Chains A and B, each alone.
Chain A
Amino acid sequence: MSNIVVDKSKVPWWVSNVIVPLVNLTLALLVSGLFVFIAGENPIEAVKLIIYGSFGYIQGFAYTLYYTTNFIFTGLAFAVAFHCRLFNIGGEGQAYIGGLGVFLVAINLSFLPVPIVWLLAIFGAFLFGAAWAYIPAYLQSKRGSHVVITTIMFNFIASSLMIFLLVDVIRDTNQMAPHTVKLPEEIWLPSFEAFSGILGIKIRYSPLNLTFLLAIASLFFVWFLVWKTKWGYEMRAVGHNTQAAIYAGISPHKNIIIAMCISGGLAGLLGVNEILGVSHKIQAGFPAGYGFTGIAVALMGRNHPIGILPAAFLFGILYQGGSEVTFEMPNITRYMFVAVQGLIILFSGALENLFRPQIESFFVRRLNREVNV
């Protein structure tokens, strides 16, 4: 038990928002190293492989940014709901259904001019993801069903529903595997190869595509929405103190619904990257855990777009570098990186106050000494 009392107003912003999160991240990575060691591999070698895999060559770096794109969407999704004190653990299912939205719009409206198809497909992804988040939001606000359980259940239901659709309804009947037909090539989002060709760099293949810019735009969108609009203010008020918000004439119900729908919509945008940008078809299980990683990204980024960008990039490095590790080290599978996510959530979320008082009082004392001198 720590009984250190720190005057919050004296703590510089960079201590609580940069130093403390970095210390927590370091702790999580140290424990991860221990797990790698228990699994029978050398943690230092693993770090070298991660850095080489994610930065060492241009194609690897493109992959890193492609993963970053996904994590920005799912990280923002969790963060938006979190500002209303809602735990949207359903990013995975919302992304899955969002993918359905992208595909249905793109395949049915592919006759339209290309940029319009893109815009409508983005809208479709957002709408489908939002719709999948709407029901848990409604049940939370009107019936008091805990949103964590309902969103988890909606992940399971989304997975069953999508596999049913992929097997029985929208499967490419010429193939055995459960996936849809490919979208027509004209409406694919331009990839990084196309751009790099113009710049004179030749790379074989990369999944990085125009969606990366959409992700960056989403960061600005969320920042503006949550911190610069009346609605964002109301939503944060509901999150901080529901009773006070009610007295101020703010409807918790309305804000819970809007927050969850925007959250689900952002998760749905993952489908744009995966389907319009990379695989051009729906494959079973394409969200592949990105929805859950979003939780770690948001908590590490302190639920702010400025924090989410580097956190998403870090997870991009871990994913891309991690695939290099699983390729080189037979004892490490991609699940090791799921465990790493868990540790990062633990240390930067639940245990964020572990060393905060000590670190903050250390800096406050140091800075005061400098002033006195």
Chain B
Amino acid sequence: MEFLSDIASLINSTLRISTPLVFAAMAGIFAERSGVIDFSLEGKMLMAAFVAAVGSYYLGNPWLGLLLAIIVCVCLSMLHGFASVTHKGDQVVSCVAINILIIGLTTALAAAWFGQAGLTPTLNEDQRFLEIHLPFSDALRDIPVIGTLYSDILSGHYVFVYLAYLSVPLVFWIVFKTSFGLRLRAVGENPSAVDTAGINVFTMRYKALAINGVLIAFAGAHLSTAVNANFFREMSAGRGYLALAAMIFGKWHPKTALIACLLFGFTDALQIRLQGVELPAIGEIPVQLIQAIPYVLTVVLLAGFVGKAIAPNAIGQPYIKER
């Protein structure tokens, strides 16, 4: 039974750890399907974490913190659009700028407002999201298998975990089953054809970036107002890039991107459990090397050992309307 509960807790933490990756990958799908590269997921996630933590602290309600984070992230997405869609600046440079700006700004402001350590104050129970225990989870816990499945794996997560996995079918439906989604994909594949059909390429890209901003805000809020009870320096720790890699590995498709996110989440969960454990034949692996596993996995997956990724055709190219 101990083995089973080990597995259950591993799956439980995989779901929790994958959550910000799922939100970020879905956000990435919107931007990149419309033809705009978005490396700035990392920076936006960090900004959302900061704004959500500060917002909840002052407003006393985590939902208001989340709302503020959404507003700020949409603004950042608009900034990216302003630079790379309207002014046809280099999309990668714009993302790098946003990421470096946010790493600096969040920590600088946290230090200025809350003291040198660059942490925001710890949120109390009213100011943060709490784990949701599904009905009857305590009563059903002792039933073998079903009890474990329901009470230990499905129940007891933060609201974001459920929202993240619900967002995947929603994103699939929007992108592949609605006329908006058709236009979105067309703008990323062949913008001049879309333009000929009388659809404004710039407006479509801005709309895609707005949705991208909303989704990424959830990822950041999950980090600072649910899993942790405060913001700390560089707390996104490369998750934006991991999510982007998962999205590319998932071929810009919500379902396969979800699987890639879960794979990353599982690796990370495993990595945490392996720390300080003696492995047969190998012995204890140094903690620094274990921590590098998700990053190494990203490189390996991106190298495309499971088939080549085909990006949207017009990605990275600013659209220039002919005169």
Cβ-defined contact, A148 with B92, below 8 A? yes
A145 within 8 A of B: yes
Cβ-defined contact, B295 with A350, below 8 A? no
Q: Which of B78-132 contact A (CB under 8 A)?
A: 82-84, 86-94, 96-105, 107-109, 111-113, 116, 118
Q: Which residues on B sit within 8 Å (CB–CB) of A196?
A: none
Cβ-defined contact, A349 with B89, below 8 A? yes
Cβ-defined contact, A335 with B111, below 8 A? yes
Q: Which residues on A sit within 8 Å (CB–CB) of B289?
A: 160-161, 164
B245 within 8 A of A: yes
Q: Which of B296-313 contact A (CB under 8 A)?
A: 296, 298-299, 302-304, 308-309
Cβ-defined contact, B286 with A39, below 8 A? no
Cβ-defined contact, A345 with B100, below 8 A? yes
A118 within 8 A of B: no
Contact residue among A39, A164, A340, A354 (Cβ-Cβ distance under 8 Å from B288) = A164
B145 within 8 A of A: no
Q: Whole-angstrom distance from the CB of B83 to the nearest CB of chain A?
A: 4
Q: Which of A149-157, A200-208, A215-223, A257-265 contacts B (4 or more CB under 8 A)?
A: A149-157
B264 within 8 A of A: no
Q: Which residues on B sit within 8 Å (CB–CB) of A152?
A: 238, 241
B291 within 8 A of A: yes
Q: Interface residues of A toward B: which range?
A: 35 or more
B261 within 8 A of A: no
Contact residue among A35, A41, A160 (Cβ-Cβ distance under 8 Å from B105) = A35
A183 within 8 A of B: no
Cβ-defined contact, A153 with B96, below 8 A? no
Q: Whole-angstrom distance from the CB of B144 to the nearest CB of chain A?
A: 40
Cβ-defined contact, A299 with B93, below 8 A? yes
Cβ-defined contact, A149 with B298, below 8 A? yes
B252 within 8 A of A: no
A177 to B46, alpha carbons, bound, how many Å?
A: 30
Cβ-defined contact, A350 with B97, below 8 A? yes
User: With contacts A39-B112, A350-B93 known, is A342 near B288, CB below 8 A?
Assistant: no
Q: Which residues on B sit within 8 Å (CB–CB) of A339?
A: 100-101, 103-105, 108
Contact residue among B88, B288, B295, B309 (Cβ-Cβ distance under 8 Å from A144) = B309
Q: Which of A314-363 contact B (CB under 8 A)?
A: 330-333, 335-343, 345-346, 349-354
Q: Which of A153-178 contact B (CB under 8 A)?
A: 153-154, 156-157, 160-161, 163-164, 167-168
Q: Which residues on A sit within 8 Å (CB–CB) of B90?
A: 349-350
Cβ-defined contact, A338 with B108, below 8 A? yes
A1 to B98, alpha carbons, bound, how many Å?
A: 22
- Chain A: which residue is nearest B305 at the CB level? A143
Cβ-defined contact, A146 with B248, below 8 A? yes
Cβ-defined contact, B244 with A149, below 8 A? yes
A89 within 8 A of B: yes
Q: Whole-angstrom distance from the CB of B56 to the nearest CB of chain A?
A: 20
Cβ-defined contact, A163 with B97, below 8 A? no
A163 to B101, alpha carbons, bound, how many Å?
A: 26
Contact residue among B103, B109, B113, B288 (Cβ-Cβ distance under 8 Å from A160) = B288
Cβ-defined contact, B295 with A156, below 8 A? yes
- Chain A: which residue is nearest B238 at the CB level? A156
Cβ-defined contact, A331 with B298, below 8 A? no
Cβ-defined contact, A335 with B107, below 8 A? yes
A123 within 8 A of B: no
Contact with B along A1-33 (1 / 0, CB 8 A): 100000000000000000000000000000000
A292 within 8 A of B: yes
Q: Which residues on B sit within 8 Å (CB–CB) of A351?
A: 82-83, 87, 89, 94
Cβ-defined contact, B295 with A157, below 8 A? yes
- Chain B: which residue is nearest A139 at the CB level? B303
- Chain A: which residue is nearest B245 at the CB level? A149
Cβ-defined contact, B102 with A153, below 8 A? no
User: With contacts A144-B304, A145-B304 known, is A295 near B96, CB below 8 A?
Assistant: yes
Contact with A along B51-92 (1 / 0, CB 8 A): 000000000000000000000000000000011101111111
Q: Which residues on A sit within 8 Å (CB–CB) of B108?
A: 35, 39, 332-333, 335-336, 338-339
Cβ-defined contact, B83 with A346, below 8 A? yes
B140 within 8 A of A: no
Cβ-defined contact, B94 with A342, below 8 A? no
User: With contacts A39-B112, A149-B302 known, is A144 near B308, CB below 8 A?
Assistant: yes
Cβ-defined contact, A87 with B96, below 8 A? yes
Q: Whole-angstrom distance from the CB of B54 to the nearest CB of chain A?
A: 13
Q: Give the top 5 A-B pairs by smallest Cβ distance, nearest first.
A: A342-B101, A338-B104, A339-B104, A350-B94, A39-B112
Interface residues of A (CB under 8 A from B): 1, 35, 38-41, 87, 89, 135, 139, 143-146, 148-150, 152-154, 156-157, 160-161, 163-164, 167-168, 292, 295-296, 299, 330-333, 335-343, 345-346, 349-354
Given A145-B299, A153-B238, 8 more contacts at CB 8 Å?
A: A143-B302, A149-B39, A330-B116, A340-B104, A345-B97, A346-B94, A349-B94, A351-B83
